[in-house]
């Protein structure tokens, strides 16, 4: 059990990837705070059936006051925090030409600001215990300028992630690099996982023409992302920090 006795916060724990992370973590021995905008009783039950302790703390992770309360509740319940996985996020589709300012703000607040606020909130507990793992959910779209090819077919852009989403995920990658350097001396590693297209409600409209460009021939699965996060959270990854690990079926290599 790679995470036996560890305490983890999983934001976005009610979503497809977040729930996959919570399940994988509980299977590896971690106790978990599930922090999603809405209650996630099904995920809570999965963790408890694995024999681990869990709390479900509905939280708007883009608001500092709610993040502070969620982290305090976790420490009150479990005594400390070992692992933070910043999964919470939303997608945004369409072109830059039609992107509304309010949508830009909504995406950046939910995807990037939330990861900063949650990371900032757990640093004191991790520093106190000289151990921590912060793992952020990046994206291939923070690297490749988007999967769509609007110069061939503008319809691909209307059904693909737009520049607000890509900018938020590129910001996640930069946040990972900065925190990794700042916290390395405290026994805290900071890494990210950058998935390609993952089968979920978010990718139901993913164009077939773009699916055909995935070298392994299929969309990814949430459990494949979760397994990568388990590795980065474990003791065997203690010499890895500031890394953005691609899990994208060969769509992008760097």
pLDDT above 80 for 15:
yes
> CATH no. for residue 138?
3.40.50.720
**Which position among 165, 188, 232, 245 bears the catalytic label?**
165
Instruction: With respect to residue 203, please indicate whether it lies within any of the assigned structural domains.
Output: yes
Residue of 202 and 170 predicted with greater confidence: 170
Is 178 a residue of the active site?
no
Is residue 2 included in any domain, yes or no?
Answer: no
Any domain includes 193: yes
Please give the residue range of the domain that contains residue 121: 7-247
- Count how many domains the chain has: 1
Read off the pLDDT band of 4 (50, 70, 90). very high
pTM: 0.96
User: Taking the alpha carbons of 96, 97, 99, 104 in that order, is the dihedral positive or negative?
Assistant: positive
* Residue 105 to residue 102: CA distance in whole angstroms: 5
Asked, for residue 233, whether it belongs to a domain, the answer is: yes
Non-local CB neighbours of 93 within 8 Å, separated by 6+ positions: 158, 159, 160, 161, 162, 205
Categorize the per-residue pLDDT at 178 as very low, low, confident or very high, splitting at 50, 70 and 90: very high
Does residue 1 fall inside a structural domain?
Answer: no
Within a domain: residue 252?
A: no
Decide if 253 is inside a domain. no
Give me the mean pLDDT over the 156-163 stretch: 90
Q: Cα 169 to the chain's mean position, in Å?
A: 10
Summarize the confidence of residues 193-209 as an average pLDDT: 85
């Amino acid at each position: 059990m790679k995470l036996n006795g560890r305490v983890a916060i999983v934001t976005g724990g009610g979503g497809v990837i977040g729930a996959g992370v919570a399940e994988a973590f509980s299977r590896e021995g971690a106790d978990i705070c599930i922090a999603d905008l809405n209650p996630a009783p099904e995920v809570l039950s999965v963790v408890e059936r694995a024999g681990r302790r869990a709390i479900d703390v509905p939280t708007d992770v883009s608001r500092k006051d709610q993040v502070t309360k969620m982290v305090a509740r976790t420490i009150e319940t479990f005594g400390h925090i070992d692992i933070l996985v910043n999964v919470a996020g939303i997608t945004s589709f369409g072109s830059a030409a039609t992107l509304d300012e309010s949508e830009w703000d909504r995406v950046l607040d939910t995807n990037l600001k939330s990861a900063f606020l949650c990371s900032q909130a757990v640093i004191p507990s991790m520093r106190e215990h000289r151990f921590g793992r912060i793992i952020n959910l990046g994206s291939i779209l923070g690297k490749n300028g988007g999967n769509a090819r609007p110069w061939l077919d503008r319809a691909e852009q209307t059904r693909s992630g737009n520049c607000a989403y890509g900018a938020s995920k590129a910001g996640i990658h930069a946040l990972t690099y900065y925190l990794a350097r700042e916290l390395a001396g405290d026994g805290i590693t900071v890494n990210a996982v950058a998935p390609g297209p993952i089968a979920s409600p978010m990718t139901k409209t993913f164009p077939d023409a773009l699916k055909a460009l995935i070298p392994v021939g299929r969309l990814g699965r949430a459990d494949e992302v979760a397994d990568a996060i388990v590795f980065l959270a474990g003791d065997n990854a203690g010499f890895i920090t500031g890394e953005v690990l691609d899990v994208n079926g060969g769509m992008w290599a760097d």
